[in-house]
């Protein structure tokens, strides 16, 4: 049971006057709800019951000692036998093995009764401050309780002294606003704050301008004695008290006061709420850490566990068998502090071309030196894909679950061959029946005639067999030998490294088109699908014709990547192809 009268008063006022529930008061002051309930039953804390002193050595001989003390002489004169005689008698006759002082103290107790408890002057001074702060009626009840009983704590003189001090205290209209320097004035000032008898305005006049005064007063008014002493220490230091006076008034060590001031200077009011870290924390044990990491670096199969990665329950079991038991929270703390995290392996596209760097440098050199009379095309094929109901992400109403039949009859198959001009973001496309060299030659001729007013045309594609066939190379050489006489641009090839589809810029355009018009589609025929694709590219080309953008700052159709050549980009989106 708590016996702090300040805490007792604050809890009762919080529940009975402010209307806070018992649960809320228990949470605010850090007490159990049963403790709050007991505090509401009495005006003041109940006195502690005095423990009876046990005398294991004297106990079997108490009857004999009491009888010898109460013996009377035959002549009628009362006498008390010598303590030495009693000690010798019980030692010889009753085999007493205790000390002489124990017998002496017990005889004096029988003759004179128990010694009254001594109360220090500091305790009286502190109690008087508490009584003066709790009101006339409550203090009168407390004094009445203390002056009754078989052995009253307060004598008549003490009660009169209390009354005189109380009259002097009631004549004070407000607490002093000066900055006291002595111990007694420091104690009065701090205790008045703890008892909440001093106004915030008066405290502000003493401590000066302080931004966090409200937070300090809130901490000082909490039910935790340690936190309250910390806040009072800071307020006393700001009011001009010395560490010695504050420590004496709060009855704490001067080193603790200095530590509280240092915490406040470094962390502010939050530093006063910090708990002292335990010096024996298990996750700081070096032997446990070494065992954890030694086991963590071994596969579970070494301990007959059919898994490729560790589970916490398996890890704890094996670690306990090795002689190091720890709970999951400790193990997670050790691993997390060491930087271990769960990470999923990322699938990336890589190129195995031995000339990857040279081909990449060649393409970057071409793009950096591209003139207005040159055009650069990124070329690839989309498909083949079947024309049927397609799935995808869609915005639906409550209770609606989109479904796509697994088995469907195809309404046609499409292959689209396309070229993206990087300078103007214009797409040229047509539909093919197959992916072969003839389709590449057809695309080259279309581009040459479409951009006949340019000097050079660069064709960039991946390392598919029909992109590097002999017939295609012969057709390009034949065209370049006659391009001057025909007034057509020269065709140059800038092949991508093998296995580097992620560098092909047109893949970004295909991904945007698939998301816009292929996913969630259910075209009635292949011609309907072609119409949608033709319209998509027509609107896209018109958009970039009106707002030319070489770098693709505003991409048409929610494309996944900007159609800008970059070695760090992954233009091919596996979710939309």
Q: Tens of pLDDT along 70-111?
A: 774 333 444 556 788 888 888 888 888 888 888 888 888 887
Half-sphere exposure of 411 (CA within 13 A, CB side): 14
| Whole-angstrom distance, CA of residue 121 vs CA of residue 116 | 16
| Whole-angstrom distance, CA of residue 235 vs CA of residue 266 | 16
* Model pTM score: 0.44
The answer to whether residues 375 and 458 touch, using CB atoms and an 8 Å cutoff, is yes
| Whole-angstrom distance, CA of residue 234 vs CA of residue 230 | 7
Q: Tens of pLDDT along 24-58?
A: 988 888 888 888 888 888 888 877 666 666 677 88
Q: Tens of pLDDT along 429-452?
A: 999 999 999 999 999 999 999 998
CATH topology of domain 356-392+409-546: Nucleotidyltransferase; domain 5 (3.30.420)
User: How much is the mean pLDDT over the chain?
Assistant: 80
| Whole-angstrom distance, CA of residue 454 vs CA of residue 251 | 94
Token look-up 């004999």 returns 64
pLDDT tier at 120, thresholds 50, 70, 90 = low
Q: Tens of pLDDT along 267-324?
A: 888 878 777 666 677 878 888 888 888 888 888 999 999 998 899 999 999 999 988 8
Q: Cα dihedral angle (115, 121, 125, 131), rounded to 10 degrees?
A: 10
Give every CB contact of residue 251 below 8 A, 6+ residues apart in sequence.
Answer: 122
Q: Residue 180 pLDDT > 50, yes or no?
A: no
pLDDT tier at 175, thresholds 50, 70, 90 = very low
Give every CB contact of residue 76 below 8 A, 6+ residues apart in sequence.
Answer: none
Phi (first) and psi of residue 239, to 5 degrees: -80, -5
Name which of 257, 131, 144, 122 is nearest 195 in CA terms. Answer: 131
The answer to whether residues 416 and 451 touch, using CB atoms and an 8 Å cutoff, is no
Helix (H) or strand (E) segment spanning residue 463: none
- The pLDDT score that the predictor gives to residue 387 is 92
The answer to whether residues 56 and 62 touch, using CB atoms and an 8 Å cutoff, is no
Q: Which residues are registered as beta bridge partners of 421?
A: 377, 426
Ranges assigned E (strand) in 145-238? none
Radius of gyration of the chain (CA): 47
Structure tokens at 15: 């529940």
Q: Residue 428 pLDDT > 70, yes or no?
A: yes
DSSP letter (8 states) at residue 564: S
Q: Which of 233-237, 328-332, 357-361, 527-531 shows the lowest per-residue confidence on average (mean pLDDT)?
A: 357-361
Phi-psi region of 343 (alpha: psi -120 to 50; beta: other; left: phi over 0): beta
Structure tokens at 325: 């038991």
Give every CB contact of residue 485 below 8 A, 6+ residues apart in sequence.
Answer: none
- The pLDDT score that the predictor gives to residue 563 is 53
| Whole-angstrom distance, CA of residue 78 vs CA of residue 250 | 53
The answer to whether residues 506 and 379 touch, using CB atoms and an 8 Å cutoff, is yes
Higher-pLDDT residue of 150, 335: 335
The average pLDDT across 401-415 equals 90
The average pLDDT across 367-394 equals 89
Looking at the chain, the whole-number percentage of residues with pLDDT higher than 90 is 17
DSSP code per residue over 345-365: PPP------TTHHHHHHHHHH
Task: Please state the length of the chain.
Answer: 577
């Amino acid at each position: 049971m708590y016996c702090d009268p300040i805490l007792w008063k604050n809890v009762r006022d919080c529940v009975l006057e402010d209307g806070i529930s018992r649960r809320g008061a228990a949470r605010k002051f850090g007490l159990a709800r049963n403790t709050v309930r007991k505090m509401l039953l009495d005006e003041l804390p109940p006195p502690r019951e005095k423990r009876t002193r046990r005398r294991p050595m004297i106990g079997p001989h108490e009857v004999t000692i009491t009888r010898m003390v109460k013996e009377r002489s035959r002549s009628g004169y009362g006498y008390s036998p010598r303590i030495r005689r009693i000690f010798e008698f019980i030692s010889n006759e009753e085999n007493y093995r205790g000390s002489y002082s124990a017998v002496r103290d017990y005889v004096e107790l029988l003759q004179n009764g128990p010694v009254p408890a001594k109360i220090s002057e500091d305790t009286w001074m502190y109690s008087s401050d508490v009584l003066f702060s709790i009101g006339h009626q409550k203090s009168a009840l407390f004094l009445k309780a203390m002056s009754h009983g078989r052995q009253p704590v307060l004598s008549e003189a003490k009660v009169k002294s209390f009354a005189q001090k109380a009259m002097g205290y009631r004549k004070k209209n407000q607490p002093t606003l000066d900055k006291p320097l002595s111990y007694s004035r420091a104690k009065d000032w701090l205790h008045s704050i703890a008892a909440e008898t001093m106004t915030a305005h008066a405290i502000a006049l003493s401590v000066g301008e302080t931004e966090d005064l409200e937070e300090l007063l809130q901490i000082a008014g909490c039910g935790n004695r340690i936190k309250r002493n910390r806040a009072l220490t800071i307020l006393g230091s700001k009011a001009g008290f010395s560490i010695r006076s504050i420590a004496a008034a709060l009855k704490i060590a001067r080193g603790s006061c200095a530590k509280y001031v240092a915490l406040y200077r470094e962390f502010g009011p939050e530093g006063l709420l910090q708990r002292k870290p335990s010096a024996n924390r298990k996750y700081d044990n070096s032997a446990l850490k070494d065992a954890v990491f030694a086991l963590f670096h071994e596969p579970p199969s070494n301990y007959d566990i059919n898994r490729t990665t560790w589970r916490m329950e398996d890890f704890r079991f094996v670690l306990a068998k090795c002689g190091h038991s720890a709970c999951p929270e400790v193990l997670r703390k050790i691993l997390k502090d060491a930087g271990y995290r769960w990470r999923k392996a990322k699938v990336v596209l890589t190129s195995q071309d031995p000339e990857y760097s040279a081909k990449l440098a060649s393409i970057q050199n071409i793009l950096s030196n591209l003139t207005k009379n040159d055009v650069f095309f990124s070329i690839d094929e989309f498909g083949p894909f079947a024309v049927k109901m397609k799935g995808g992400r869609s915005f639906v109403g409550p209770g609606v679950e989109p479904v796509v039949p697994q088995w469907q009859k195809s309404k046609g198959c499409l292959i689209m061959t396309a070229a993206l001009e990087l300078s103007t973001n214009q797409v040229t496309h047509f539909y093919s029946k197959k992916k072969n060299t003839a389709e590449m030659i057809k695309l080259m001729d279309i581009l040459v005639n479409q951009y006949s007013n340019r000097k050079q045309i660069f064709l960039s594609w991946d390392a598919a067999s029909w992109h590097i066939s002999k017939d295609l190379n012969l057709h390009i050489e034949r065209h370049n030998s006659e391009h001057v006489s025909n007034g057509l641009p020269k065709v140059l090839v800038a092949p991508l490294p093998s296995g580097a589809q992620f560098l092909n810029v047109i893949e970004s355009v295909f991904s945007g088109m698939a998301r816009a018009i292929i996913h969630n589609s259910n075209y009635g025929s292949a011609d309907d699908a072609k119409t949608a694709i033709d319209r998509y590219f027509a609107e896209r080309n018109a958009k970039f014709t009106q707002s030319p953008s070489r770098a693709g700052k505003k991409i048409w159709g929610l494309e996944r990547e900007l159609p800008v050549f970059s070695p760090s980009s992954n233009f091919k989106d596996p979710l939309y192809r």
